[in-house]
Structure 1
């Protein structure tokens, strides 16, 4: 095939652009991949979130660490804006923390999780987000 230098450059640019756009497309989470996020709450406690694929679902683990045993926290988890789970947990020794683990449906595209926990007596609020 006899091509001109201009045509070859145009074809090469097209191939490079196609390859670059393929890299930008988000792919669903694969087994073995894990996403972690953490941050501070409104007072002295901290929160952590971790998501990974387990048995074809997303296993989401959320934790609050206040360093105080016996605190009762109300919590909820939203998945793409819809309430998926809620409850109450009590911080326990030795670290003064609690964790919540739930298996969620792996929806197409990016799954966005919001974990929120409130300790009513102190008014402390923890809120973390994670996209997977």
Structure 2
């Protein structure tokens, strides 16, 4: 019994400091893990606009072409396109928007088409890739 009484133990302040350091380190590890899990699981959208062309014929007719590349992991739905504060309707009687989804390589320069309509007949086919 005498041997046990002669050994010195850590003091209460030192033991409290050790416990405090362990708790802080553990909470830092848990926080870092939670941030990495939520950051990696969030799917991010990434769009790249390229090959933008504007052809202005007169005050009532102009044509715009552009290529939108989706680089992100998720599918993207375009619900509205606004140019200089004006909404472009998808399909109305006078103005409309034509689009094509392709996995082919798009030509370097998009061709100008004199009179494009939304009828879908053979005369209005435009080669883009």
Q: TM-score, normalised by structure 2?
A: 0.33
Compute the TM-score of the two structures, normalised by the length of structure 1: 0.33
**Who wins on radius of gyration, i.e. which is larger?**
2
Of structures 1 and 2, the one with the larger relative CO (CA 8 A, separation 6+) is 1
* Higher share of residues assigned helix: 2
